[in-house]
Chain A
């Protein structure tokens, strides 16, 4: 209400089809949360507050993919009300795990879960926000990395480019000094084609990367697919490897379809 409050940038946090994990990342920034709440006005964030202020918002953080007519309309309203729109996480950026329906009959999927499918209103495809409205920045990850989110909010408010590298998980792994799980143990790993951001988490725990951050810039999925086959992976296994939380991202989608055909 006071004049000091009015000068603060207004942030809205919105949820479409998703697990809540990416917006929970804000509450999981335990050391920074009160500082964030002091620096900005959290105008709309239903998970944290029953006070819900109308737009316009300086920054909209959008979690989740579009899977219903209602959400397809809502994202248009959110875009109109927001100066900067940032998608947070694999659902908003690539359609999420729920995009696995995109290769199947979605009506049949509904019938498997619900006895009265006619009560359920859902679209045939789960699609990323960018297929519906212009997006200013897509933050990757399933879930997102909280330090990247803090960097992105700071950069947006300062009007500078965020320092979020688009190279692969491999680069993070080398920098960490990990032994390569694929070279040393023959474990299939999506690290060579996956966007950085997790600090090579899975290889650090002796498992192969499963692609939470989606495709890196210009990934060589064909070369990696060949290597997976040399390691003895079947076409089905290869297709499933690309068809995870970022299955509908164009590069992974294409690689999974090629694996199915071969």
Chain B
């Protein structure tokens, strides 16, 4: 039985990603002639509608860009505005913001690893079908996910679009005992995340390595969330304020998402693989050991291994959250004063999917004159297309349904968040 050569792979609605995208891969003979990841998610024009609003509102407004990673938007916004206003936060607030981010990483990574990506490796259409054969795994995943959401809800009031972050701190003062209530759940979560690494490390992975420029934040001692310099394996080392000198967003006709590229070098990769490869030595010992035991050492260059990297980051986030709830001592005040003044501020933080850049220009009444937002998925978009160009070629003689599913899986390696990137993605395979 020989398969006809595929002419094109076409996926009109890409599933198990957040938001609306399509994929089209065209073949000419045995070669891939075109790859288009189109984002038909409607543009919502946030950078325009923020103008004239008070800078303190950017925290709540930009969180509505993405229901999956609202904490990331709130963290990039609040740090950018604080920089513009010259506000210094209390070290305890800094710790609370790390904990807030741990919650979102645990929720988002667990969602992606188990409910969105694992079904590809185990051959199920979705986690519901997977649950029929692997109920205990899905139940454990839901419990772990819920613990992430519990952290976000404790600090933010609710899982999606939390309400407590504000310029200078939080609206509410959190007591030690409130945080300590998370201890038992988090101790369980560390073990569950270690099991996750073992589970996903046992999946079958295609042999597929690429040369990437990895870009992530780097802090002197910590695995990065809200601070650090922006570095790469090819020598990039800049402050957040220099981002726009080194990166350029450009528009392509097939997508409502802007593509971002590194000046002079082109496509690059952000997210778990970049963070892991550039910050392995900043991971706590428990996460490093889990990675070693899974045979995962930097530099990881197979994007299908990203599910294992995400699991290792789960170990980190659970262990870090546990450390914080044990060490936390409340700040003197819930938030420090942040009087209006004219200025410009930018911030980069590590959203679950990679770096998220915000910049605001503010007038002397605190009103936003201009805003710029560069989400992780628009930065990975070119890299996803480059992966597909290399990955799809050997699939040309495979059955169309199989080749299509494999290519979808390759897109899901990036956990793309299309709601964010719109400024962003659809998979199509064509054949006779």
List A residues at the B interface (Cβ < 8 Å). Answer: 15-25, 27-28, 30-31, 33-34, 37, 42, 46-52, 64, 67-68, 70-71, 96-98, 100-101, 104, 106, 108-110, 112-116, 119-120, 122, 142-143, 198, 201-202, 204-207, 210, 212, 237, 240, 244-245
Q: In the bound complex, how far is the Cα of B125 from the Cα of A198, in angstroms?
A: 34
Looking across the interface, which residue of chain A has its beta carbon closest to that of B70?
A21
Residues of chain A within 8 A of B45, CB atoms compared = 98, 101, 106, 109-110, 112-113, 122
Interface pick from B83-91, B155-163, B200-208, B221-229 = B155-163
- Asked whether A115 and B17 contact (CB < 8 A) given A21-B161, A30-B149, A109-B49, the answer is no
User: Which one of B125, B172, B256 contacts A206 once the chains associate, using CB atoms below 8 Å?
Assistant: B172
Are B43 and A114 in contact, CB atoms less than 8 angstroms apart?
Answer: yes
> Which residue of the partner chain, among B49, B143, B149, contacts A98 with CB atoms under 8 Å?
B49
A35–chain B nearest beta-carbon distance, Å? 11
Contacts of A119 in B (CB 8 A): 251-253
Min CB gap B380→A, angstroms: 17
Measured CB to CB, the closest approach of chain A to B376, in angstroms, equals 15
A113, B61: Cβ atoms under 8 Å?
Answer: no
Contacting pair A100 B49 (CB below 8 A):
yes
Contact status B48-A17, CB under 8 Å? no
A4 to B39, CA, bound (A): 38
Return 11 A-B CB contacts under 8 Å, by A number: A19-B65, A30-B143, A46-B13, A49-B128, A49-B129, A52-B13, A71-B42, A98-B49, A101-B45, A109-B49, A206-B171
Q: How far is the CB of B385 from chain A (nearest CB, A)?
A: 17
Asked if A34 and B131 make an inter-chain contact with CB atoms under 8 angstroms apart, the answer reads yes
CB distance from A196 to the nearest CB of B (A): 15
Which residues of A sit under 8 angstroms from B193, Cβ to Cβ?
none
Q: Nearest Cβ distance between residue A174 and chain B, in whole angstroms?
A: 18
Given A201-B158, A207-B171, residue A122 in contact with residue B43 (CB < 8 A): yes
Kindly provide the distance from the CB of B103 to the nearest chain A CB, expressed in whole angstroms. 13
Residues of A contacting B142 with CB < 8 Å? Answer: 30-31, 33-34
Docked CA distance A67–B20 (Å):
14
Q: Indicate if the CB atoms of A27 and B160 lie closer than 8 Å.
A: no
On whether A68 and B163 interact (CB within 8 A), knowing A109-B49, A114-B251, the answer reads: no
CB distance from A26 to the nearest CB of B (A): 11
**A33-B142, A119-B251, A205-B172 known; A142+B164 contact, CB < 8 A:** no
Which residue of the partner chain A has the closest CB to B164?
Answer: A205
- Asked if residues A120 and B49 are in contact (CB atoms below 8 Å), the reply is no
When each residue 248-260 of chain B gets 1 if its CB lies under 8 Å from chain A and 0 otherwise, what string results?
Answer: 0011110010100
Q: Name the residue on B nearest A42 (C-beta).
A: B128
Q: How far is the CA of A15 from the CA of B65 in the complex (A)?
A: 14
The answer to whether B65 and A52 have CB atoms under 8 Å apart is: no
Interface residues, chain B, CB within 8 Å of chain A?
13-20, 40-49, 51, 53-54, 57, 60-61, 64-68, 70, 111, 115-116, 125-129, 131, 135, 138-139, 142-143, 145-146, 149, 157-161, 163-164, 166, 171-172, 250-253, 256, 258, 334, 405, 408, 417, 419, 423
Contact B158 A97 (CB under 8 A): no
With A48-B128, A52-B15, A245-B64 already in contact, the answer to whether A240 and B172 are too (CB < 8 A) is no
In the complex the two chains form, is B15's CB within 8 Å of A98's CB? no
Q: What 5 pairs between A and B have smallest CB-CB spacing?
A: A21-B67, A49-B126, A50-B15, A109-B48, A112-B48
Question: Are B60 and A210 touching (Cβ within 8 A)?
Answer: yes
Q: What's the Cα separation between A232 and B47 when bound, in Å?
A: 29
- Other-chain contact of B126, A51, A114, A210 (Cβ < 8 Å): A51
Given contacts A143-B161, A240-B54, 16 further A-B contacts (CB under 8 A): A18-B67, A20-B19, A21-B68, A24-B67, A46-B14, A47-B15, A64-B42, A67-B44, A71-B42, A96-B44, A97-B44, A98-B44, A108-B48, A119-B251, A122-B43, A198-B158
Chain B residues lying within 8 Å of A120, measured Cβ to Cβ, are: 43, 256
Closest Cβ of chain B to A259, distance in Å, is 14
Give Cα A39–Cα B139 distance, bound, in whole angstroms: 17
Task: Give A46 to B16 CA distance when docked, in angstroms.
Answer: 6
A37 adjacent to B157 (CB under 8 Å): no
Which residues of A sit under 8 angstroms from B128, Cβ to Cβ?
34, 37, 42, 48-49
